[in-house]
Amino acid sequence: MSDNTEVEYDTAKILAALPHRYPMLLVDRVASLAEEEIHAVKAVSFNEDFFQGHFPGRPIMPGVLQIEALAQAAGILAIESLGLAGTGKLVYFMAIEDAKFRNPVTPGHLLDLRAGFVQKRSRVCKFWGKASIGDKVTCEVNFTAMIADS
């Protein structure tokens, strides 16, 4: 992988990289992918299951799901950067730190998901993540994940 480049990373490739499936698959597209950073997108639709209860009459995407979307994007980054595609390895959350929620995410938004390595090792990686809508940051977080057999 070289510099930040446009990539052909469609839904089929996302499904091949991640074990998540509907309704927990929260990455719709990868806009760019580099050795150390990913830019992915989640199209937030009114039909999302969580909007039924969060909140009726004022639908807001839960912050924990924004973090999950960032973690899934980071999982794709780890799988690609560490050459794990097709190995059966999975990326598991270990820790979430310094989570901050800045602005609400509502139906109709395209949520930009940017994540990158803070530390990259063969079994444990640390990441930063930032979700935003346009120039408005919605969520920032640091998290740790481990690479393990499925």
Q: How far is CA 130 from CA 3, 6, 11, 56, 61, in A?
A: 20, 19, 22, 27, 15
What six digits make up the tokens of 98? Answer: 């310094």
Peptide bond into 56 cis (omega under 30): no
Known catalytic membership, residue 109: no
pLDDT, tens digit, 9 for 90 and up, residues 19-34: 999 899 999 999 999 9
Per-residue model confidence (pLDDT) at position 2? 47
Q: How many residues are recorded in the chain?
A: 150
* CATH T-level assignment (fold) for domain 5-149: Thiol Ester Dehydrase; Chain A (3.10.129)
Q: Which of these, 23, 147, 26, 9, lies nearest to 87 by C-alpha position?
A: 147
Distance CA 84, CA 36 (A): 15
What is the DSSP code (8-state) at residue 77? Answer: H
- The residue from 20, 39, 54, 109 that is catalytic is 54
Write down the domain spans for the chain: 5-149
Per-residue model confidence (pLDDT) at position 5? 56
pLDDT, tens digit, 9 for 90 and up, residues 25-60: 999 999 999 999 999 999 999 999 999 899 989 999
pLDDT category at 6 given cuts 50, 70, 90 is: low
Distance CA 118, CA 134 (A): 24
